[in-house]
Structure 1
Amino acid sequence: MNKPSPALFFVEADVDHRTNIREDLRSDIADYYDQSYWDYRTSWLNSKNLAIHYGYWSEATKSHSDSLLEMNEVVAAQLNLKAGDYVLDAGCGIGGSSIWLAENFNVKVTGITVSPTQIEQAKKNAKRRGVDHLVDFKLEDYTQTLFEDETFDHVWGLESICYALKKSDFVNEAFRVLKKGGSFAIADGFAAKREVTHKEWAHVLKVLNGWVMPNMSTSTEFEGFMKSSGFKNIYYRDITENTLPSSKRLYYTAIFTYPMEKVMSWIGLRTAVQSGNFNACFGQYHVLHDGIGCYGLFSAMKGLD
C-alpha cells in the first residue's frame, strides 16, 4: 500500500514569517547581530577574515578561514574592480568584506548596516588594518539609502540581502545608486521552492527565527526583480555544493556544543536570541542538504543608456 504524499502548503513571498518577532524587523536584525557577535567570534570568524558568512570551498581550499576569504574572491570576480572605484557594501557587518576589498583592489568602499554596534566595530577594524582612509561605514537601510543617484561604481552584497522584507526594494535601490555601466554582485541563500511540507517548513522556521530573516526569495523571483529594475547581463550560478562544508561545520559544531548550550540557557547565561542563533545551525543544514533552499551567486550590469 502506497503511503500518501505529505501535505504541501504554499509559502508566500514578501511576508515576515518569523514567529518570534520582538520589535520591528530592522531593530530585531541589529539586536540579533549585537547579541550573537561572540558566537561568531569564538566559532567562525577571526581577525584576518572578519567574516560573518558561509565559506566557498573549491578543490584548492585548505581551511575554514581560507574558505571565508575565497567567498570574497568569488564575488569580487563578478565585478570589474579597478583601483579608485567606489563600492557600496550593502550589509557590511563588522567590515570584513569592505576591508578586504580595499586591501586587495585599492578601491574606496562605503559599508552600510542597521547596527550601530557593527559600525563602531567596523571602524575600529578598518583603522587597525590601515585602510580607514579608503573605507567608511554608515548607519543605513539598503532599501532606502540617502545616497545620490548613480553614486557607486559597484554594489556588493554578501549574505545580507536575505534580511530585506521585499528583496525587490533592495534591487531597485541598488540600481538607483549604481552608476551607468556599473556592476552588481551578491551571494546569498534562496528558497528552492514555494511549496513545502510541514516538516520542511519547521527547518525553514528555525533559520528565519534564529537568524532574523523575514523570508527567502527564489532565485527565479530574484532574477525577475533584477530584470524589472533594468539590470542587464544578468548571471546566476548555484554554488550550494561549494558552501556545504560550511553548512556541515555549523551543524556539527552545534551538535558538539549542544549540552553546553542547554546548560547555559537553563542557568540564564544564554538569551533567547543567542539560543535561536544556535538552533538555526540545525535548520540551515536541512534547508541546504535536503533541497529546501540553495545558495546562489548573482551578478549584473547597469546599462549605459
Structure 2
Amino acid sequence: MELDKLNPRNPSNSEVNDYYTQCHSIYNAKWTPESHQANIHLGYYDKEHSKYGPAADNMKQIFADLINLSANDRVLDCSGGLGDNATWIAREYGAKTIGVNINRLQLGLARELAIDRNVKSLTEFRHDDFTQLETVENDSVDVVWAIESICYAEDKRDFLEQAKRVLKPKGRIVISDWFLDQRDFSKIEQFIMRKWLEGWKVPNYAHIDDFRENLSQLGFKNIRRQDATENTLPSARVLYLFSLWDYPLSKVLNAVGLREQLRLENTTAIHYMYYAYKLRLITYSIVAAKL
C-alpha cells in the first residue's frame, strides 16, 4: 500500500496544536519518577544509561557528538516540546540556540525553563512552523537539530528544504525520528500503524531510504544513519505499561465527559507504538549530515 495511506487523515497544524495543548498533562505524567519533566522525548539507553533521565540526556549527547557541537555554533532547535533540548544545548555547550514551535503553551514553558536553567541570554523561542521558518533568515545557523518532530511534516522534504535554506555553508543537520524501512504492510500491521499515527496526529512516517535520498538531492553530504530502535525500546515499554492502566481509566472518564477525546487517543497511540516496535514495523533512526 502507499505509505501515506497508513493514516488517511492529514492533521492540520491547528489539530496538532490542540493535541499538544490538551495532552500536556499526560506528557508530564507518563514518564518515570526520575525523568526530567521538561523532556518529552524518548531516551537512548545503553549499558551506562539504564534509567530514563540519564538516557534522555544521552540522546542529546549523541546528537552533539555527531555534529561536533561547540560554543561557536548557532543552533536552530526544531524539536518543539518544552525547551529541554534548546536549554540543554545552551547550558552544556554555551551555544546560542533558537527554538521554534507552533504551540504557544509550550513556548511559554520553554521560556520559563530557560530562566530556571540560567540560559535566558543564550536562548530564544519563536512561534514558527519548521516547514516554513518565516522567522529564520537565510544562511543564519550552523546547526539544525530535531528530535522526534519532523514526523509532523506531511512532506519531510519541506522541512529539509528549509533546513538547507537557513544553514550556513558547511552547516550540519542532526535529527532523530521514527521511519519506515518496509513498504508493504499486512492489514493488522496497517491497523497498528494507523492507531499510532492517528492518536499522535502524525500524518505519516517517511521511509528511511526516501529521507536519505532527499538529503542527497538537496546537497547534503556525509549522510550517516544510526539505528537506535533497540536503544529507545525501553522508553516505548514504559509508555506501553502506562497505557495498560491509563486507557481503561481514560475510557471511563471520557464517557462521562471528564477527559478529552485527544487524551484517550494519545493513550491508544502509545499502546500501539509498542506493538510497532516489537513487530519492527518502524526504525527509530538518528540521521546526521552536512552541506
Q: With the length of structure 2 as denominator, give the TM-score of the two structures.
A: 0.95
Q: Provide the aligned length of Structure 1 versus Structure 2.
A: 289
CA deviation profile, 1:256-301 (whole Å, cap 9, x unmatched): 3333222222221211111110000111011111011110010001
Distance, in Å, in 2 between the alignment partners of 1:186 and 1:207 is: 21
Distance, in Å, in 1 between the alignment partners of 2:121 and 2:78 is: 19
Contact 2:150–2:177 (CA<8 Å) still a contact in 1?
yes
Does residue 105 (structure 1) correspond to residue 86 (structure 2)? The answer is no
- Higher mean C-alpha deviation, range 117-126 or range 226-235: 117-126
Give the match for residue 4 of structure 1.
none
Distance, in Å, in 2 between the alignment partners of 1:155 and 1:207 is: 27
CA deviation profile, 1:54-92 (whole Å, cap 9, x unmatched): 111001113122211111111221112111310000132
- Cα 1:182–1:39, aligned 2, differ >3 Å: closer, same or farther? same
Within 5 Å, which residues of 2 pair with 1:1-305?
10-13=1-4, 17-19=7-9, 25-44=12-31, 48=36, 50-146=38-134, 147-302=136-291
| SS of residue in 2 equivalent to 1:194 | coil
Unmatched segments (≥5 aa) in structure 2: none
Percent identical across equivalent pairs?
Answer: 33
Shift, 1:102, TM fit:
0.5
Distance, in Å, in 1 between the alignment partners of 2:191 and 2:180 is: 14
Give the match for residue 5 of structure 1.
none
Unmatched segments (≥5 aa) in structure 1: 1-9
Contact 2:82–2:106 (CA<8 Å) still a contact in 1?
yes
Shift, 1:43, TM fit:
1.8
Residue type of the alignment partner of 1:53 = H
Distance, in Å, in 2 between the alignment partners of 1:259 and 1:31 is: 23
Q: With the length of structure 1 as denominator, give the TM-score of the two structures.
A: 0.90
Distance, in Å, in 2 between the alignment partners of 1:300 and 1:258 is: 39
- Cα 1:117–1:47, aligned 2, differ >3 Å: closer, same or farther? farther
Q: State which structure, 1 or 2, has the greater radius of gyration over its C-alpha atoms.
A: 1
Distance, in Å, in 1 between the alignment partners of 2:172 and 2:81 is: 21
| SS of residue in 1 equivalent to 2:3 | coil
Residue type of the alignment partner of 2:92 = N
Distance, in Å, in 2 between the alignment partners of 1:174 and 1:224 is: 15
Residue type of the alignment partner of 1:32 = Y
Contact 2:28–2:37 (CA<8 Å) still a contact in 1?
no
Contact 1:49–1:68 (CA<8 Å) still a contact in 2?
no
Task: Give the superposed CA RMSD.
Answer: 1.7
